Amino acid sequence: MTSAEHSPSSSSVVDEEIDHFSALAQQWWDPRGPMAPLHAMNPLRTSWVKDHIPRAFFQAEAPPSLLDIGCGAGLASESFAKLGFKTLGVDASAEAISAAEEHQKKAPLPHSAQSLTYKAGNAEELVDQKHQFDVVSALEVIEHVRDPQAFLHLLATLTRPGGYIALSTLNRTVRSFLMAKLGAEYLLRLLPVGTHDWKKFIRPADLDAMASQAGLRLIALNGMSFIPPRWRITRDTSVNYIALFIKD
């Protein structure tokens, strides 16, 4: 891969993916709608991230800053703000950001929460403005971008030295094809058909190798499994998993 392909100015956005999620923007906050799996998984993902960030980050004079890339209509962004992060949610879908801001007006955050703002646009614009954050999250995003390796370089550029990057995604296994693609989209209709492209799922070892190329070091990795009645952190990474990297 050339240095040009690693350039933060190269957009990670795939227009077809953005169109797909923009069409779902008004249903994003419906816990029984097309984003129901994300609603169910969301508390587990965001609490796992906070639990793996050093307590010292939350004992400083200013709260830790967090960039939520591909935030959609703000499910994780709101949770992160409630957990004590000063949060900026960014998404290339203007429709999703509008839905996020509308939900924030209808259901304001509690006074104990940290600030939450949204921005419609590409994360690359933040690189151009030389922004860096204590924590960068990209939850269920990397399997939708144009170039995962370039995307990881983008995340690294947006993270300050000593900061953390949280990623959750899907493993590329036979089991994930049967459960997350065939089962969830076509049989159980838990997700809209076309939500995922199984060929773009990423094995944990491949994610670790690409992250290393971007100057990131893996420090935590867990599976996320639905064990009725809720999602749980497990050692099973064969379908869904979540990882934390540090930028040394």
Predicted TM-score (pTM) of this structure:
0.90
Q: Residues at the annotated binding site for S-adenosyl-L-methionine?
A: 45, 70, 91, 139
Domains along the sequence of the chain with CATH: 3-247 (3.40.50.150)
DSSP class of 70:
T
* pLDDT band per the 50, 70, 90 thresholds, residue 9: very low
Q: Which residues line the annotated binding site?
A: 45, 70, 91, 139
**Per-residue confidence (pLDDT) for residue 198, from 0 to 100:** 81
pLDDT at 187: 63
Q: Span 120-138, mean pLDDT?
A: 94
Q: Please write the tens of the pLDDT for every residue from 148-207.
A: 999 999 999 999 999 999 999 999 999 888 877 766 666 666 666 767 788 899 999 999
* DSSP secondary structure string for all residues of 10-66: S----HHHHHHHHTTGGGTT-TTSTTHHHHHHHHHHHHHHHHTS-THHHHSSSPPEE
User: Strand order of the sheet with strand 216-227?
Assistant: 116-120, 86-91, 65-69, 133-139, 159-170, 240-247, 216-227, 230-234
| pLDDT at 4 (0 to 100) | 36
The pLDDT, as a whole number, for residue 15 is 86
Nearest to 133 by CA among 61, 71, 85: 85
Report pLDDT for 185. Answer: 61
Q: Are strands 86-91 and 116-120 parallel, antiparallel or unpaired?
A: parallel
- In the numeric block, which tokens belong to residue 41? 């998984």
pLDDT, average across residues 91-117: 96
Residue 225 half-sphere exposure toward CB, CA atoms < 13 A? 10
Q: Please tell me the distance from the alpha carbon of residue 132 to that of residue 56, in angstroms, as a whole number.
A: 18
